[in-house]
Amino acid sequence: SLNQSLSELNGDINVSFEFFPPSTPEMETLLWNSIRRLEPLNPKFVSVTYGANSGVRDRTHSVIERIQNETNLLAAPHLTLVDASDEELKELAKHYWNSGIRDIVALRGDLPDGSPKPTRFANDLVSLLRSVADFDISVAAYPEVHPDASNAQADLIHLKKKIDAGANRAITQFFFDVESYLRFRDRCAAAGIEAEIVPGILPVTNFNQTKRFAAMTNVSIPSWLHRQFEGLEDDPTTRQMVGANVAIDMVKVLSREGVKDFHFYTLNRAELTYAICHTLGVRPGK
Ligand code: FAD
C-alpha cells in the first residue's frame, strides 16, 4: 500500500525551508514563530531570499545573523548578481565565510524592468563563490523552463554550467505538474547532471497569489488545481486544508519516485510545511 511504501522510505528524508525577510513588526513575529515551529524538524538548512534593493538586503543579512546567533539551524543566504560588482560580491562572500556561513543559494536574480541584456549569469556567481571559499552552493532549476530561456535545451545546458562550476545541488522553481518535474529530472540525468534536483514545494494557502506568482514565472496551474480551490475565495480555513492535501499528495508521489530531498517555500508560515513534513516521516529530533 502507499502508506507502507512511504514508511519504508522514511528516515532518510532531508528538508530545507525558505523564508523571506519581513517588512513589518507583525511579519517579523510571524517569521520567528514559524522558524521556531519548524526548527525541531532539523532541516538541512534554512534559506533567506535576497531582494533587489539595499533596504531589503539589509533585512536578509539581519535575519541570517539572527538565525545563526539564536538557533541551531544552518542559515543559507540567497545571493544574486543584480546591482553588485564582482568585488562587492567577493567581499560579501568573505564576510559570510568569516561569520560562519557555509551554505549559499546562488542566483542571477530577477532583473529590474528596463535592464539591459545581462552579461553575467548564475554560473559566474558559482565560480566566484568557489574562488572565495568552500561553500555548499545551491542553484535554481526550472522544470517548466525559465521565462528568459530561448528553449528547454538551452536552459538545461545553462543549469549544467552551474553544476559544472561547482554547485552542489539544484532547487527547482515551484510546480504542480509532478510529471513535468519527473521528466525534467530524467533530462538532467541524461545531460550528465549528477547533482540532486531538489523539488521546491509551495504549499498553497492563497490561491490568487499563487496564480500571480505562476504567471510571472512560467509555472503551469493544472485545471485540477483550479477546481480544488474553486469557490474557496472567502474560506481560508478550507483553503488551508485543501492546500495541505494538494501538497501532501504531491510529496507522496515524489517520495515514491525516490525523491529524498525537499525544499519548502514556506512564505514564512509553518503550519502546512510542518504537516507535509510530518507526512513524509520528518519528526522533531530526528
Ligand atoms: P541563471 O541560471 O543565470 O539563468 C537565467 C536565464 O539566463 C535563464 O533563462 C538561462 O537559461 C539563461 N542563461 C543562463 N546562463 C546563461 C549563459 N551563460 N548565457 C546565456 N544565457 C544564460 N530571485 C531573487 O531576486 N532573490 C532570491 O532570493 C531568489 N531566490 C530564488 C530561489 C529559487 C530556489 C529559485 C528557483 C529562484 C529564485 N529567485 C530569486 C529567482 C531568480 O533570481 C530568477 O528566476 C532569475 O531570473 C534567474 O536566476 P537564475 O539563478 O536561475 O539565473
Express each pLDDT in 160-194 by its tens digit.
999 999 999 999 999 999 999 999 999 999 999 99
- Closest ligand 1 atom to residue 109 Cα is 43
In this prediction the ipTM stands at: 0.99
Distance (Å, rounded) from C-alpha 4 to C-alpha 165? 40
Given a cut of 80, whether residue 285 has pLDDT beyond it is: yes
Give 139's strand partners: 170
Ligand 1, from 123, 142, 146: best to mutate by most atoms within 8 Å of Cβ?
A: 146
Residue 4 pLDDT level (bands cut at 50, 70, 90): low
Contact criterion met (CB below 8 Å) for 251 and 281: no
pLDDT in tens, 18-34: 999 999 999 999 999 99
- Is residue 26 annotated as a catalytic residue, yes or no? no
Pocket of ligand 1 (CB under 6 A): 49-50, 52, 78, 80, 105, 107-110, 121-123, 140, 146, 148-149, 154-155, 158, 161-162, 171, 173, 200
110: CA distance to ligand 1 center in Å? 7
- Closest ligand 1 atom to residue 48 Cα is 28
pLDDT in tens, 76-93: 999 999 999 999 999 999
What is the rounded average pLDDT of the residues 155-161?
A: 98
50: CA distance to ligand 1 center in Å? 13
223: CA distance to ligand 1 center in Å? 27
**E strands within the chain?**
14-19, 45-48, 75-80, 103-107, 136-141, 169-174, 196-201, 261-265
The grid cell for 253 is: 508521489
pTM comes to 0.96
Residue 237 pLDDT level (bands cut at 50, 70, 90): very high
235: CA distance to ligand 1 center in Å? 35
Contact criterion met (CB below 8 Å) for 52 and 82: yes
Residue 54 pLDDT level (bands cut at 50, 70, 90): confident
The grid cell for 268 is: 514564512
Given a cut of 60, whether residue 155 has pLDDT beyond it is: yes
Out of 8, 18, 88, 194, pick the active-site residue: 18
pLDDT of residue 18: 98
Q: Quote helix, strand, coil % in the chain, to nearest 5.
A: 50, 15, 35
146: CA distance to ligand 1 center in Å? 8
Contact criterion met (CB below 8 Å) for 282 and 11: no
pLDDT of residue 170: 99
* Protein residue whose Cα sits closest to atom 11 of ligand 1: 155
Ligand 1, from 49, 92, 108: best to mutate by most atoms within 8 Å of Cβ?
A: 108
